[in-house]
Amino acid sequence: MKEHPTSLRVKLPVFVVVSQLVIVALFAVFVTYDDQADARLQGNGTVAMDNALYTDYPFFTDIQVMIFVGFGCLLAFLRQYGFGGMVFNFLTATFATQWAILVQGYFQFSHDGQIHLGLINVINAEFACAVVLISFGAVLGKTSPLQLLVMALLEVPVFAATEWAVLTYLKINDAGGSILIHLFACYFGLGVTFVLYRPRLNEGHAKEASGYRSDMLSAVGTLILWVFWPSFNSVLSLRGDDQHRAVLHTFLGLSASTLTAFALSAALNKGGKLTMADVQNVTLAGGVTVGATADMMISPAGAYALGAVGGAACMLGYRYLSPFLARRLRIQDQCGIHNLHGLTGLISSVAGICAILAASEEVYGPSLYETFAHRAPVEGDPKLLELRQQIPGLRAGLGRTAREQALYQVAALVFTVVVSVIGGVLTGFVLKLPCLGSPPDELCFDDDLFFDVPHDYEAPSPLSNKCTTDDSSV
């Protein structure tokens, strides 16, 4: 009997086992422990509690909860694709993180021919993983697990190389990753989904509907992401007041966008009723819009205003822009990542540029040159010596002016968007390879295709066929 083209029986094990052999071989040859994890490097004066584990681990677990539990639940909003949303998120996240440990390790954590592994690498890899999962949102329900793994396989190196180039050559400020994470992930995902365009899905799909219980679980995912977002935006900030501000601003931004989401959901939906899709997504917009400025002195009011603006942009995007993109530009953005990560990422980046232009010693004091490290005077500048009397360990910088720093931010933004679109489109073509087992249109959003579902899976409500005509709002 010939194997069905979407059957995972042979393809998935082959891909996974080959990947695992390659990964374990690369680990064996190239990966060793970093200073914080290597027993041999603990010397006479090592104080156990000064280990980086104790500053990093609480943030690490928060981000783990966001990625595996929060994202997993959020993506389970479709009534007949809950397994797919949650479980393919799990599979993709696990694979992307392993792969990112190696690829990012090569770019950022290697010396003497070895990648030096500590918890900090894993945290960075989780960011790369978040990038892949955001892009996943564009193609949810329309891709096989194998396609998702291949997407991760290709997206992680493109991301890691972009990140490395931006951090090494452009040297930007981007605490919450608005440019490198949200914009990259969004435009990569849109590039992929553009190539994977399925015209028949624009007419609606019987199974592309959320359900009452699946909407509840998805909302739990939103709440988990909401609660831990301050950790996400602050984990890579400078320790101390910078990180403290990043936490406060993220909380305020999310609070503002949540209220905006409720207000606009009631204003724009028929009958003045709230929709769960808005509650699940738009409430989170503020976390992205404060991202680039999270550690800066933008004032509490500034963070609040940014959150409200982000929520409004995200909501209007869902309402007016997404249908336009799908019908006119062939961009079918399943979860609306362009609204939650693209528009908000752009707003955040612009806000970051404004905040950089406005930053002055008057507001920041000498720690201006810590928050904006590249504006610190170059080694040998007498101003540096003067500053070091106030901040003893201050590192020499590049002596950039605010304007120069702002221009580098613009350059990074343009570069990131261009690379991500190209990367996404090329990846999309790879994903069209027939051997990757893309689901046929009629089996999209259907857990029965890839899972041995329980007996109560079917039992469709008598209303479910109506979905084709009036349920395209999710």
Binders in 200-229 for a second copy, by CB under 8 A: 209-217, 219-220, 223-224, 226-228
Cβ closest to a second copy, residue 253 vs residue 428: 253
Cβ closest to a second copy, residue 20 vs residue 401: 20
Residue 197 has φ and ψ, to the nearest 5°, of: -45, 130
Only one of the segments 184-192, 237-245, 398-406, 424-432 lies at the binding site for a second copy (rule: CB under 8 A); that segment is: 237-245
What does the per-residue mask of binding to a second copy show for 37-76, with x meaning CB under 8 A? xxxxxxxx-x-xx-xxxxx-xx--xx-xx--xx--xx--x
> Could you tell me the two tokens for 252?
């305020």
Residue 268: CB atoms within 10 A of its CB come to 15
Cα(167)–Cα(173) distance, integer angstroms = 9
Cα(138)–Cα(331) distance, integer angstroms = 9
The reply on whether position 459 binds a second copy by CB under 8 A is yes
Q: How far is the CB of 138 from a second copy (least distance, A)?
A: 22
For 149, 186, 345, 366, the CA distances from 178, given in Å and listed in that order, are 24, 11, 5, 26
Q: How far is the CB of 5 from a second copy (least distance, A)?
A: 11
- Strands of the sheet containing 31-33, edge to edge, are 31-33, 114-117, 110-111
Amino acid letter at 272? G
Under a CB-based contact definition with an 8 Å cutoff, are residues 187 and 424 in contact? yes
The reply on whether position 1 binds a second copy by CB under 8 A is no
The reply on whether position 281 binds a second copy by CB under 8 A is no
Only one of the segments 26-34, 152-160, 183-191, 314-322 lies at the binding site for a second copy (rule: CB under 8 A); that segment is: 26-34
The reply on whether position 241 binds a second copy by CB under 8 A is yes
Only one of the segments 155-163, 299-307, 328-336, 342-350 lies at the binding site for a second copy (rule: CB under 8 A); that segment is: 299-307
- Binds a second copy by CB under 8 A, chosen from 17, 358, 385, 414: 17
Cβ closest to a second copy, residue 200 vs residue 466: 466
- Binds a second copy by CB under 8 A, chosen from 269, 330, 350, 398: 269
- Binds a second copy by CB under 8 A, chosen from 22, 169, 244, 386: 244
- State the angle between helix axes of 241-268 and 299-316 in degrees (0 to 180), rounded to the nearest 10: 40
Running DSSP on this structure, what letter comes out for residue 44?
A: T
What does the per-residue mask of binding to a second copy show for 346-385, with x meaning CB under 8 A? -----------------xxx-xx--x--------------
Under a CB-based contact definition with an 8 Å cutoff, are residues 286 and 254 in contact? yes
Only one of the segments 27-35, 328-336, 345-353, 379-387 lies at the binding site for a second copy (rule: CB under 8 A); that segment is: 27-35
Q: For 178, what's the count of Cα atoms within 13 Å in the CB-facing half-sphere?
A: 32
Contacts (CB under 8 A) with a second copy, residues 313-342:
none
Contacts (CB under 8 A) with a second copy, residues 387-406:
389-392
Start-to-end Cα distance in the chain: 39
Contacts (CB under 8 A) with a second copy, residues 148-207:
none
Output the DSSP codes for 343-369: IHHHHHHHHHHHHHHH--HHHHGGGHH
Under a CB-based contact definition with an 8 Å cutoff, are residues 115 and 32 in contact? yes
- DSSP strand pairing (110-111 vs 114-117): antiparallel
> Could you tell me the two tokens for 391?
């901040």
Count, residues in the chain: 474
Residue 167: CB atoms within 10 A of its CB come to 15
Cα(121)–Cα(129) distance, integer angstroms = 12
Cβ closest to a second copy, residue 358 vs residue 414: 358
Helix, strand, or coil (residue 206): coil
> Could you tell me the two tokens for 334?
């399943």
Q: How far is the CB of 384 from a second copy (least distance, A)?
A: 16
Q: How far is the CB of 433 from a second copy (least distance, A)?
A: 18
Binding-site residue total for a second copy (CB under 8 A)?
Answer: 150
Q: How far is the CB of 137 from a second copy (least distance, A)?
A: 18
Q: How far is the CB of 303 from a second copy (least distance, A)?
A: 9
Contacts (CB under 8 A) with a second copy, residues 123-152:
145
Contacts (CB under 8 A) with a second copy, residues 95-114:
95, 97-98
Cβ closest to a second copy, residue 119 vs residue 340: 119
> Could you tell me the two tokens for 456?
């109560």
> Could you tell me the two tokens for 465?
């066929």
Under a CB-based contact definition with an 8 Å cutoff, are residues 395 and 417 in contact? no
Q: How far is the CB of 168 from a second copy (least distance, A)?
A: 25
What does the per-residue mask of binding to a second copy show for 408-447, with x meaning CB under 8 A? ---------------------------------------x
Contacts (CB under 8 A) with a second copy, residues 249-268:
251-252, 254-256, 258-260, 262-264, 266-267
Q: How far is the CB of 106 from a second copy (least distance, A)?
A: 14
